[in-house]
Amino acid sequence: MRYVSTRGGMSPAGFSDVLLAGLADDGGLYVPETYPRLDAATLRAWRGVLAERGYAGLAYEVLRVFMDDIPVDDLERCCRAAYNADTFGSALVAPVSRVGTSDLWLAHLSNGPTAAFKDMAMQLLGQLFEVELERRDTWMTVLAATSGDTGSAAEHAMLGRERVKVAMLTPRGRMTPFQQAQMYTIDDPAILNVTIDGVFDDCQDLVKATFGDAAFKARHRLGAVNSINAARVLAQVVYAIAAWLQVTSRGDERVSFAVPTGNFGDILAVHVARQMGLPVDTLILATNENNILAEFFATGVYRPRSAADTHATSSPAMDISKASNLERFVFDLVGRDPRRTSDLFGRQVAGRGFFDLSADPGFRAQRERFGVVAGTSTHADRVATIRSLWREHGVLIDPHTADGVGVARRLMASGEVTGPVIAYETALPVKFAETIVEAIGEAPEVPARFAGLADAPWHVVDLPNDVDVLKSHLEAWLERPEG
Ligand SMILES: *Cc1c(COP(=O)(O)O)cnc(C)c1O
């Protein structure tokens, strides 16, 4: 499988190069040159694979076509090391459960080390990095910014890998107590947690400025793990298929998916699975008050917001000012035309600040064909959804999951969506206790594996919002002899 940039400025690359590259040098995102085709017989066979070899076996079968320059033995080992009962609580890794006797199902993607779905892709990424860096006999420094879930998933996935160091910037005091504890209690010389006096966008800008220093980037082999990494999207395709297999019994049943969305990563993977031939009916996209994507799918206008116009909400992992992965979807929407994609994102968004496809005859047709229906969920909506699922079914969900479930239930009630709907559970309630207390009047249960986390000592450095201070601190940390 070869990978091309959505902006057409790169010669096609193999998977292992894309794994380590992150963003393409022409500013675009890497996508598979073609989507491998799935048929009913393959799906039938995979049902058996999931039953007999668990999620790890399915991951290997799905991914070996995409990751065909990783030796098969290595890939199989990576899948087994990433996806097992020790790390995810069961061999199914992402089990699906039915909400009462309704048509609504929850895919539990949050049973990993940091209690959010980010673990699903990140655990595999950690294994793949190790294999590939070893093969190339090199090392890398992951530098990234996080508003909460990505950072902790990355640190827990890279922990103990000899060839990877991680420096993670976080906005001081703006993550939940649980999220802070998950990162800052890590005590490892290869992991550096930094809090920045600022908001998430300030952290992101510092990361960009540091990557922008080409000499610094080369000297320290800076690499990225953010959601634009193609390997993360591919790893996420696996659980769309795994969830579908658990809800159906034949090869052709159509199922809808409801996905709470920020950077358009998780939902993009369902789109890819559909393009491969997975029988997906409606793709329900839920946003919070930062509803750039709901606006795009309703009107054809994509307009990223400024940091000042980005609301801090009670589903903070979806508080985005732009949707980084949308470019991959729009590339498909415009018939995989790199010139067009480059014009829309490279020229129009970068220049005017938006693009408008409302007059494009292809936009409506493709939106229909791709089956996306988008909706917005507010704080009041998510609190009401958490409360109602708890009272009616004894099922407790986190605020992000509630955004997806709320929008799905609205569409199911109006009859716009019929048949089974798989809603993604993207985090466990324990990560967002304050909103849970507001919704049900009591704190969420703390899973046993997180007991004691709140009392452990922190290892974190406070720095000002200043790129030179950051760079000299990184330099000193990276050049410190290992203890
Ligand atoms: C990251 C995240 C999301 C949004 O996922 P995208 O792939 O950015 O769309 C939703 N819920 C939770 C809990 C998250 O951590």
What is the tens place of the pLDDT at every residue in 22-51? 788 898 999 999 999 999 999 999 999 999
State the Cα–Cα distance between residues 120 and 105, nearest whole angstrom: 19
- Residue 483's pLDDT is 42
Mean pLDDT across 221-229? 86
Strand partners, 222: 141
- Measured from the CB, is residue 400 less than 6 Å from ligand 1? yes
Of ligand 1's listed atoms, the one at least distance from the Cα of 320 is 8
For a substitution probing ligand 1, which of 114, 119, 149 has the most ligand atoms within 8 Å of its CB? Answer: 149
CA of 270 to the centre of ligand 1 (A): 14
To test ligand 1's pocket by mutation, which of 150, 272, 426 has the most ligand atoms within 8 angstroms of CB?
426
Lowest mean pLDDT among 79-88, 234-243, 303-312, 335-344: 303-312
Q: Predicted confidence band at 482 (pLDDT cuts at 50, 70, 90)?
A: low
Mean pLDDT within 116-142: 96
Average pLDDT estimate for 438-455:
93
CA of 261 to the centre of ligand 1 (A): 6
Residue nearest to atom 1 of ligand 1 (CA): 317
Distances (CA, A) of 404 to 63, 257, 268: 27, 9, 15
The dihedrals phi and psi of 22, each to the nearest 5 degrees, come to 70, -120
Residue at 424: amino acid letter: Y
**pLDDT per residue over 5-29, tens digit each?**
999 999 999 999 999 887 888 989 9
310 alpha carbon – ligand 1 mean position (Å): 16
| Ligand 1 centre distance from Cα of residue 370 (Å) | 21
Provide the edge-to-edge strand list for the sheet that holds 140-145: 222-223, 140-145, 164-171, 191-196, 461-463
Active site residue 118: yes
E strand map for 359-413: 372-376
